[in-house]
């Protein structure tokens, strides 16, 4: 099994954590989808990471799809509940966390533009999205909907989202007034799978 990705991508980190937690061996192929001539489109026509290539040569891309495929292998731990309604809730929390990542990545790309070309409106919109989504994660962590145990796709995704905010220094001070979310991600960051997938220092 091969995972095509980038060491700094939080979407790739999500899949790497799942693979490690399930004890699946894989070869990591590091590519940068943002540079000219990137090999990423050879694996995924959208030129994005991650892409998973199975031993049979199947290609799966987009992290929610890859996560679903890995769950279909029926290898413990179970990260998506069998009950359809419970599974849908986990997937919605995954989508919420991925939405934070989408907004954070847009902010990072916008700030890479020359300062005179940056749009404060775009940056403000992304900050507002991130703040609202973090508030919802805090609410779910407070009421017990989102917990650190048992491990599942929802809490993995939430921790990867927060990890990326920390790594790229997006939304500094996000932890203020969100104690339940802070406690949740701190517990998850202690797991070996998260320690092994921490992005390299920028």
Six token digits for residue 119 = 């749009």
In this structure, what are the phi and psi dihedrals at residue 84, rounded to the nearest 5 degrees? -55, -40
Could you tell me the fold of the domain covering 84-191? Glutathione S-transferase Yfyf (Class Pi); Chain A, domain 2 (1.20.1050)
pLDDT tens readout for residues 80-129? 999 999 999 999 999 999 999 999 999 999 999 999 999 999 999 999 99
Could you tell me the fold of the domain covering 2-73? Glutaredoxin (3.40.30)
The pTM (predicted TM-score) of the whole model is: 0.96
Which residues have CB under 8 Å from 152's CB, separation 6+? 78, 79, 80, 81, 90
pLDDT tens readout for residues 36-81? 999 999 999 999 999 999 999 999 999 999 999 999 999 999 999 9
155: helix, coil or strand?
helix
Domain definitions of the chain by residue range: 2-73, 84-191
| pLDDT of 182 | 98
Does residue 202 carry a pLDDT above 70? no
The full 3-state SS of 75-139, as one line of letters, equals: CCCCCCCCCHHHHHHHHHHHHHHHHHHHHHHHHHHHHCCCHHHCCHHHHHHHHHHHHHHHHHHHH
Distance CA 157, CA 162 (A): 9
| pLDDT of 201 | 77
DSSP label of 2: E
């Amino acid at each position: 099994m091969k995972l095509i990705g980038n060491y700094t991508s939080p979407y790739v980190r999500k899949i790497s954590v799942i693979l490690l937690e399930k004890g699946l061996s894989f070869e990591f192929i590091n590519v940068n989808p943002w540079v000219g001539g990137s090999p990423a489109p050879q694996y995924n026509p959208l030129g994005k990471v991650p892409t998973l290539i199975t031993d049979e040569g199947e290609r799966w891309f987009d992290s929610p799809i890859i996560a679903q495929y890995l769950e279909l292998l029926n290898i413990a731990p179970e990260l998506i509940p069998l009950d359809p309604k419970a599974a849908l809730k986990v997937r919605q929390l995954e989508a919420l966390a991925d939405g934070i990542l989408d907004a954070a990545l847009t902010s990072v790309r916008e700030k890479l533009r020359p300062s005179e070309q940056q749009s404060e409106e775009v940056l403000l919109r992304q900050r507002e999205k991130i703040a609202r989504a973090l508030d919802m994660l805090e609410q779910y962590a407070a009421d017990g909907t989102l917990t650190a145990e048992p491990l599942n796709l929802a809490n993995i995704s939430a921790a990867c989202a927060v990890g990326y905010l920390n790594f790229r220094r997006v939304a500094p001070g996000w932890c203020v007034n969100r104690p339940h979310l802070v406690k949740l991600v701190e517990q998850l960051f202690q797991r070996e799978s998260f320690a092994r997938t921490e992005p390299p220092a920028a």
